[in-house]
Amino acid sequence: MLQIPAPSSTTFYIVHKDPKFHLTRTHVYGEKKDTWSIDLTTNGKEHYQKDGDFETRTRLYWEGSSLTLDMKLRNKAEEGTNVVRYSLTDGGRTFVAVERLRSPSHSHDNTWIFDKQ
């Protein structure tokens, strides 16, 4: 399994006006930035995205007070899944993202906790 070091910093930028949802996530690894963005709706409708050989099929839907991003990933070599549950805690002051990624070459579980700004 491939082990990726933890980022030195991460920023989530979210604009959510139900049912519209925009997410931009930036991980910083030293001097290198990894930024990813997606526009979805919270009604569970599948969104298809292709970038070169990399394809995703993503749905976003409510599970109680958590917003769940359910993504199927595929490239020429393999397929995988990434499920992230987003929620607010501490009266809306803290943003939490609980992530579970699974593929033949890489699997991880992350819990991201951020102060909401």
Residue 106 lies in a domain: yes
Cβ proximity of 56 and 48 under 8 Å = yes
Q: What is the pLDDT of residues 78-106, one digit of tens each?
A: 999 999 999 999 998 999 999 999 999 88
**In terms of residue numbers, what domain contains 18?**
9-115
Residue 101 lies in a domain: yes
Q: What is the pLDDT of residues 40-63, one digit of tens each?
A: 999 999 999 998 899 999 999 999
Q: What CATH code is carried by the domain that includes residue 20? A: 2.40.128.20
In a 3-state reduction of DSSP, which class is residue 71?
strand
Transcribe 26-48 into DSSP letters: EEEETTEEEEEEEEEETB---EE
Q: What is the pLDDT of residue 2?
A: 55
Q: What is the pLDDT of residue 117?
A: 76
Q: Residue 1: which pLDDT band, with cuts at 50, 70 and 90?
A: low
Question: How is residue 52 annotated by DSSP?
Answer: T
Looking at the structure of the chain, the number of domains it has is: 1
Asked whether the predicted pLDDT for residue 18 surpasses 60, the reply is yes
